[in-house]
């Protein structure tokens, strides 16, 4: 691709780069940044995102469909930003199990390229404050519940690809924090715990949109294992509300933050809630993990975040309930938005 330059360097709107900005969380973040008056550049290869997630025409939005590393290399020297949000990544357990090599390379190589780019791309040539999207998967099997940011992590053997995603995201965190300590890069690491909402699809194993789509179609909801494993689900609108607050606060730079809800629900109860909120006649069908992911798949019984650090730093807490989130997803799907 040809070098990309900005046509009007005199504009005063804060210039923000969002990688993976056509994806589920990224597109909601872009909406919020545009509403705040930012001038937003999105880079997305549309491997899992969709162009229709973003406004078709907006004077302060620039969309670049490209591989992230190639796009960064093509930027001219005049490309400067006040903030960067790195949300481009491999997503979903199913994709990771099916294509582990691609997932590892995507997560590690793109994060490394993005962090190098951020080192001198502010208006004065200094490092650009950068938020790195990470995952609760980093905790691996976990050593206790709820998970706290400074807890030790525990992974399974390298022969089980299930844990490769966790390791790749951990490498991203190590690399980001290393650039903070060595180069003064203002990095914030956000560990997402089961973010849900409109624009999320179930193709890559995301349980809530998968359940909602089945319920709306009157098909049995497929629960993996015995259904007694528990998770915490947080509405994407709550998540994107706190991201600029974290990145804009220098006291948060060089730190890791759990982001999610502290209210857990078993997967079998989640299925019942989806059926209730969608007023569906669907039933529930249990399926063994081996049928879905193959032999040797391991899952956690509980995954719950300790949110005290983000609460103390920003005063943030999620406001929307699980039932509200389910209804929002169902309303979005009823408008014809599916896979």
Residues annotated as part of the active site: 165
* Contact (CB, 8 A) for 222 and 285: yes
**CA distance linking residue 11 with residue 39, whole number of Å:** 9
**CA distance linking residue 197 with residue 330, whole number of Å:** 9
Largest CA distance in the chain: 60
Read off the tokens for 157.
């053997």
Burial class (CB in 10 A: 0-12, 13-18, 19+), 50: middle
Read off the tokens for 136.
């609760």
**CA distance linking residue 61 with residue 277, whole number of Å:** 35
Region label for 140, one of left (φ > 0), alpha (ψ between -120 and 50) or beta (otherwise)? left
Q: 219: which DSSP letter? A: P
Angle at 289 between CA 284 and CA 102, to 5 degrees: 120
Main-chain dihedrals φ then ψ at residue 158, nearest 5 degrees: -65, -15
């Amino acid at each position: 691709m040809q070098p990309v330059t900005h046509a009007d360097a005199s504009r005063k709107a804060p210039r923000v780069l969002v990688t993976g900005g056509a994806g589920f969380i990224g597109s909601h973040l872009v909406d919020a940044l545009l509403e705040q008056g930012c001038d937003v550049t999105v880079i997305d290869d549309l491997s899992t995102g969709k162009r229709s997630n973003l406004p078709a025409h907006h004077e302060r939005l620039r969309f670049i469909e490209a591989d992230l590393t190639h796009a960064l290399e093509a930027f001219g020297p005049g490309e400067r930003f006040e903030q960067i949000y790195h949300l481009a990544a491999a997503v979903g357990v199913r994709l990771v199990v099916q294509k582990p090599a691609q997932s590892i390379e995507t997560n590690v190589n793109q994060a490394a390229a993005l962090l190098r780019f951020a080192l001198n791309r502010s208006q004065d040539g200094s490092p650009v404050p950068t938020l790195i999207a990470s995952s609760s998967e980093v905790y691996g099997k976990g050593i206790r519940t709820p998970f706290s940011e400074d807890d030790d992590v525990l992974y399974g053997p390298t022969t089980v690809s299930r844990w490769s995603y966790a390791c790749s995201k951990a490498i991203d965190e190590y690399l980001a924090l290393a650039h903070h300590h060595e180069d003064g890069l203002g990095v914030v690491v956000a560990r997402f715990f089961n973010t849900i909402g409109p624009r999320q699809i179930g193709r890559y194993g995301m349980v809530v949109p998968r359940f909602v789509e089945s319920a709306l179609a009157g098909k049995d909801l497929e629960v993996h294992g015995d259904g007694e494993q528990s998770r915490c689900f947080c509405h994407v609108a709550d998540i994107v509300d706190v991201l600029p607050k974290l990145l804009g606060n220098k006291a948060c730079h060089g730190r890791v933050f759990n982001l999610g809800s502290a209210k857990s629900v078993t997967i079998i109860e989640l299925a019942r809630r989806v059926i209730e909120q969608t007023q569906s006649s669907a039933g529930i069908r249990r399926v063994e993990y081996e049928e879905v992911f193959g032999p040797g798949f391991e899952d956690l019984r509980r995954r719950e975040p300790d949110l005290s650090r983000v609460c103390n730093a920003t005063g943030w807490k999620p406001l929307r309930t699980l039932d509200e989130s389910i209804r929002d997803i169902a309303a979005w799907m009823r408008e014809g938005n599916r896979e």
